[in-house]
Each structure stands twice: as structure tokens, then as C-alpha cells.
Structure 1
């Protein structure tokens, strides 16, 4: 019977053939509950379940359930049969080892191009509510907008405008993905924006007749320091945290102008690429981001509550 190490080796060899942008390996969490089972034809598969809590008042509570069970599958070269067997075993594990509440979820993060595993995830009730998308560090063609729209770097004095725009994005995202607009969202967003505006992370504002109408919150991430957190190749990346455009000016090119400026600065900084998270069910971001050159690398599959796992 194949060992977990052998299954991991086969799994990442298969990932490399599926998508050259995937990292060579992925570190499992340091703690978790192991699951070992077999496919219908007797093939060995395994997984590790990590349990995380996001209490009220935490930033993670805006985009995750209060109680998150994440499965790290180790299925070797058996993406469909192996994932199916592992998810069945996980359902039994939840029934005997945990008591998930109503504000809970089961999550699996898996390469977006692995459609064989996709079939098994769908069959067990998972939905592809979010994905991590990447873009190469190429400059973008700049097109100056006509009229009175101006883009500039935001500073500490723009805190109120940034918070207002990012809250509008959260309110919209809560309808089409994993985000939740909780009562303390304004405070959490203000704290995060304050930190970002007092750091070296770039934030841009688009103004129309002097009034802020769009924001692009970005940052820098060295994935060599925390590879398991991002599932990206090691190196310096640019991160697009939030882009929000007021409803009345959507479709006018303001979002494109913001990201053209951002992508050109990313290229000048010498990053190995940029990444972001977006919701495939979102009718705006699912169109906008591919047009900016982003494509899915990892898909975040989710079931809420955890007891809905089939």
C-alpha cells in the first residue's frame, strides 16, 4: 500500500503536468486530524483535517464561517475516485469526531484545472465560491480616460473614503460568495485600512470631479516566508486585496484604469506575478478579472454549514 509520502509525490507530479504555475510542493498544517481510507478498487488515499475558529471581531470572520474544517487531500494519481472516497470518509469523521454548529463550513482548496476532482466535489455538495487567480508581471497598456477622472495614491487623510468604498465591495461580495457583512464590519475595515494607509502597501483612489469613486487596495507578499499560506511559487508577489467602484460609474473604464496603473507599478517593482481572490458567482469580477489577465490557479470549494457535506 502506498505511503502518504508516495501519494504526495505522485500528487504533485500530477499537479505539475496539469499547471506549471502551481508550486512544486505544499506544506501540510503542523496540526490536524488524519483520515485514511480506500477507493472502491482498494487504492489508498489520505487527508488531514485542520479545524480553525474565527471568533466575532476577527478580520477572518468577514470572509469565513466561525468554525472552519479544512481538508488537505492526499490522493496521489486518483483525483476523482480518491477524492470521492476521502469525502465520504470525511463525512463519517465529522459525525463521530466533531459537532459542527450552524455557522460552520467544510472547505477544500484544489487546483482549478483538475476537473476530475471537480466532479467528486460537486457530487458531495461543494460549491466553487472563491478562487485564487494569478497574472504574469507584464505591463498593461495605459488608456487615459476622458473627462474629469483622476487617479492618485491614497494617504492617511483618505481613510473615510477608502473605508466607504471597501464596505460597498463587501456588501456586494456577501451576496455572491463566502463573505459576510457582520455588524462589526465597519470597525474591522477601518482598522485594516488604517494599517494599510500607514504602510508601504500601495492604495489608489480614482476621483471624479474631486469625489472618490473607486479604490484599489494592493500590497506586497513574500511567499518564501509563508509558502503554505498562499499556495504560490516562492518569491515576491503583488497582492490585489480589494477593488471597488461605485455603482453609478461602473462600466466606464475606471476600474481598468486603476488596475493599469497598479499592474505597471507591479512590473516596475520586479515581482514574479500578482494574485487576488475573486468569486466565480460574482457577475462583475468573474468577467473583469480575466480581462485584466488573471486566470484561476486554485479553487476554494465550500459547504455551509459543515453538516451539509453529502
Structure 2
């Protein structure tokens, strides 16, 4: 079975699924990756399996297990669901040789195009759950009408003097999101969040914004401009990408229009920077953020499926 043949068939299939998906290329196997393949009749499947490890003091450890096994998937042929099923079985066999059973700090992760629904049943059968989404909002998109912005909301650049408030808002958000599988609240999370926010606030023109309501800071938005988003550019067919890292609103101010005002301001900043699209991550099961972002003009582009522990 040839990886490039599967990639070609996969690319042709994906092109009909979502115009904002980038054209996939054949997998390149590096020293730390394993190429897996499976075939069911005329259907072929290829998977690139990789593993990465982080220390608990890494800022990225908040967003994932310390050991993360990932599988990139390409499917071609008349029965992609059967191909995925066979490929996941091959990956399970591979994981059983390298992962410790029952380790909660070891996860198996597959990212799939959200509109490519072939194989959803197979993902569930193999013990995966949809945990996160990369959502996309094309530039200048009109959002659905949301809560009326509360009079008195003022949005301004954050400064280092706002660090304590920013940390409080971010921690409140992350502890709420930890219920839904995307965030791990670790010992020392206050320090990790504080260091990252201070680094951003000390930049010459920080893209960190505070929403004040009658002088009280109740909301926070963190943006990455198009010259900072090369790390996620491979996820979307666009040249200039904005990324909305975080938007947090104090619990007491939710449903009051503070979040809507912050989102509208962020989109104006991205539009002025010439972003073709804006991306963000959201937790699938979050009953607040998911409907909020879709009301702001976003839609699912990639769905992140996770099994944790990776091997039960």
C-alpha cells in the first residue's frame, strides 16, 4: 500500500467535505513517528503515529496529558468508516507496546475534520470521545444577534497592572473548563498562568484586552495576530489567520453582554489586521462557550477526539 495513493484519494474526498480544510499531503515519517496502514477491500487507511511528553511545569501541560499519543489519519476508498476502524485497531496494537495501561497522564488523541462524519461510530466504539473543537470564523462574517451589550462596557488594552485581575479571570475560566476534558488543573497552575500572562503584558503592544463595566474589570480577551499563528496555519486553507487564545468573563457578569462586546472588539481588531479567518479552541461539552461562539459566527472545523488513559 502506498502512502501517496491514500493521500491522493483522501485529498479528493476531503475537498468535497469542507472548503476551508487545507489540502493534505502524503505523510512524512520522521525518526520519532510511526507510519501505520490498513486496508479493507478497496478502502485504504494511513496513519502517522507520534508521541510527545511534557513536564508538569510546562505551560502547555494545562491543555493536555503529560504524555500524548497522536494519530493523523488519511482515508481513501468507498468505505472510509471501515478503513478508520481497521486503522484504529492497528494503532491500539501499537499503543499497547509503548503506553502504560491505566495511566491518566497518558492520552490518545485524534483530530478529524468536523464535517467528515464517516467513522464517528467507530471512534466511539474504540473508546474515544469528542473533547475539543477548532472553530473557524471567516472575516467580516455577520454574527447572530446575541445579548444586548450592557451600557457602560469599556474595552481597553491591558497593562502589567492588570496582571492580578487577568490571572483571576483566566483561572476561573480554566477551572470551569476542566470539567469538560480540555484542561488539567495542575499544582502550580497559578504560577504557570501568571508567567504566561506577564510575558504577554510586557510586550510593546500586547494583544490582551480588558472589559470594564462601570470601572470594574470583568472580562479578558487574549489575541494572536496573523504574524504569530504559523503554529496553527496548517489547520485551515487561509493565508492570514487570527487566533483568539482566550476570552474570559467573570461569573457575576455572564449573560450581561460583556463577552459579546469583547468578541466584537476582537473581531474588529482581526479585521483591521487583514485576517482571512479567526480560529479558536472550545470545549465540545461546555454548555456556555459552545453556543456563544457559534452565535458569534464560528463553526466547527476540526474535532479533537481523546481517550484518556490511552490504554485502559
**TM-score in terms of structure 1 length:** 0.91
Q: State the alpha-carbon separation in 1 of the partners of residues 298 and 12 from structure 2.
A: 24
Q: Distance in 1 between matches of 2:39 and 2:105?
A: 31
CA contact (8 A) 1:140 1:264 kept: no
Given candidates 205, 211, 223, the residue that maps to 1:206 is: 211
SS at match of 2:246: strand
Q: Which moved more, 1:216-225 or 1:3-12?
A: 216-225
Tell me what 1:257 maps to. 261
Query: Is the CA contact (8 Å cut-off) linking 1:104 and 1:305 kept in structure 2?
Result: yes
Cα deviation digits, residues 142-183 of structure 1 (max 9, x gap): 998444332212122211111111111100110123211111
1:202-225 deviation digits (Å, cap 9, x = unpaired) = 211111232211111111144884
How much does 1:112 deviate?
Answer: 0.2
The equivalent of 1:84 in structure 2 is 85
Q: Measured at CA, do residues 176 and 277 of structure 1 come closer, stay the same or move farther in structure 2, by a change above 3 Å?
A: same
**Aligned equivalents of 1:257, 1:15: Cα separation in 2:** 35
CA contact (8 A) 2:226 2:273 kept: no
Aligned mates of 1:305, 1:74 — CA distance in 2: 24
State the secondary structure of the residue aligned to 2:179: coil
Displacement of 1:63 after TM fit?
1.0
Identify which range, 73-82 or 178-187, moves more after superposition.
73-82
State which drifts further: 209-218 or 73-82: 73-82
Distance 1:136 1:183, change over 3 A: same
Query: Is 1:169–1:244's contact at 8 Å kept on the other side of the alignment?
Result: yes
* Aligned partner (choices 112, 119, 122) of residue 110 of structure 1: 112
> Which deviates the most, 299-308 or 77-86?
77-86
Q: Given the superposition, is the C-alpha separation of residues 185 and 133 from structure 1 closer, same or farther in structure 2, using an over 3 Å criterion?
A: same
Q: Partner of 1:134 in structure 2?
A: 136
What secondary structure does 2:209 align onto?
Answer: strand
Matches within 5 A, 1:1-310: 2-25=1-24, 30=30, 31-39=32-40, 41=41, 43-77=43-77, 78-99=79-100, 101-138=103-140, 145-199=149-203, 200-222=205-227, 225-226=230-231, 230-308=234-312
- Does 133-142 or 77-86 show the bigger shift? 133-142
What is the SS of the residue equivalent to 1:96? coil
TM-score, structure 2 as length reference: 0.91
User: Structure 1 CA distance, aligned partners of 2:161 and 2:228?
Assistant: 31
Report how many aligned residue pairs link the two structures.
305
2:10–2:76 CA contact under 8 A, matched in 1 = yes
Q: Measure the CA separation in 1 of the matches of 2:240 and 2:6.
A: 30
The root-mean-square deviation of aligned C-alpha atoms, in Å, is 2.2
Bigger mean CA offset, 86-95 vs 147-156: 147-156
Structure-2 change in CA distance of 1:139 and 1:196 (3 Å): farther
